[in-house]
Chains A and B, each alone.
Chain A
């Protein structure tokens, strides 16, 4: 607008074109832009700060992890599943993690499968574990609130691999929101890593390698 033909045609002087008011507008816009740059740089810095190494959690003690309280016990490799059968897909073995899990929520749930992830890379390993309830030696269904249970989490992988020991597991937790934004329902959300657990890999007696 400033250098448009119209301004000149209307016979405005140079002083009007570069009036104090316009310069003030420009300065405000400039300050705003700089503030935005600083803010985004600050957020970037904050996120950088957030990526500190996750704490190593203790073995043999209950760890509160959102919906679950978890006590890590031991991890073995075996060619037998916790229900006593052989790993059904041929040429595979299983990493079996024993944990004691307590449902800390008010509802029956099996979200335990999302609470533990295998962090050590193993070629061809299952993306998600299968859970077995050790009380029944059967596939786990929902765990009931307030009832601690021994659970075995099983990841199968192609046999004959060297697996690093200790094995590392990520412990994930969700935050509780009494009312979600859409339906105002209680919600467990924002699953995040709260730490890692390192366990030495043992070999099962009477089975495995």
Chain B
């Protein structure tokens, strides 16, 4: 019996180590963004940045003013346009992190193809404390994701780690047929 003591200690040690290894959350999650969950059409306050995202619009083609020219952008899939009101409480900031998460977990960054648009929320649009902004966040998705289900992630950092991130979850909607042509400036003016 005495001989089995050390063996038992080693076995228990291995079990404890294995248990810690299996239950340890991934480093990616431990140092990941600090999530602030929210709903569409409601303000989500993440500390400094506060956002309020409206209902998404779908379109096959979008038209917008960019650098004094009118641009039209087609897509192999569809455009998903989300109106977003944003403000900061105490420090100047940018909304560098703009991601749409699909129900199957794919992460689509806001399209770089509309980066110059006057009414598109991009890294060049600065948020100053006390001055609320309204902009559009534009994503390009495959057509099969056109029921508008997903989550909008907005953050002051492009890849937030230990930084606040607003997560606005959109339920699946009745698949409305996407608009043939959506004028972003008109949509922005109506907000």
User: Interface of A with B (CB < 8 Å)?
Assistant: 106-108, 133, 135-136, 138, 141-142, 144-149, 179, 182-185
Contact = CB atoms under 8 A, between A and B. Distances in A.
A183 B26 CA distance: 8
B89 interface: no
Contact of A135 (B74, B105, B142): B74
Nearest to A107: B107
Given A136-B113, A183-B28, A147 B75 contact: yes
A138 B74 CA distance: 13
Contacts of B107: 106-108
Contacts of A138: 113
Give the top 5 A-B pairs by smallest Cβ distance, nearest first. A141-B112, A108-B109, A106-B106, A185-B28, A146-B142
B174 interface: no
A108 B140 CA distance: 10
Interface string B106-119: 11110111010000
Contacts of A142: 109, 111-112
Contacts of B73: 135-136
Given A184-B27, A184-B28, 5 more contacts: A108-B109, A136-B73, A142-B112, A145-B142, A148-B76
A30 to B, nearest CB: 34
Contacts, number: 55
B112 A147 contact: no
A133 B74 CA distance: 12
Contacts of B97: none
A141 B111 contact: yes
Contacts of B151: none
Contact of A108 (B27, B28, B108): B108
Contact of B76 (A106, A136, A149): A149
30 contacts: A106-B106, A106-B107, A107-B106, A135-B73, A135-B75, A135-B76, A136-B73, A136-B113, A138-B113, A141-B112, A141-B115, A144-B77, A144-B109, A144-B111, A144-B140, A145-B142, A146-B77, A146-B106, A146-B142, A147-B75, A147-B76, A147-B77, A147-B142, A148-B76, A179-B26, A184-B26, A184-B27, A184-B28, A185-B26, A185-B28
B113 A133 contact: yes
B81 interface: no
A69 to B, nearest CB: 13
Interface string B71-99: 00111110000000000000000000000
B106 A145 contact: yes
B44 interface: no
A106 B99 CA distance: 12
Contacts of A148: 76
B108 A145 contact: yes
Contacts of A146: 77, 106, 142
Nearest to B76: A147
B109 to A, nearest CB: 4
A144 B113 CA distance: 11
A146 B75 CA distance: 12
Nearest to B25: A184
A108 B112 CA distance: 10
Contacts of B168: none
Nearest to B104: A106
B141 interface: yes
B139 to A, nearest CB: 8
A61 B38 CA distance: 45
Nearest to A102: B76
A37 B40 CA distance: 67
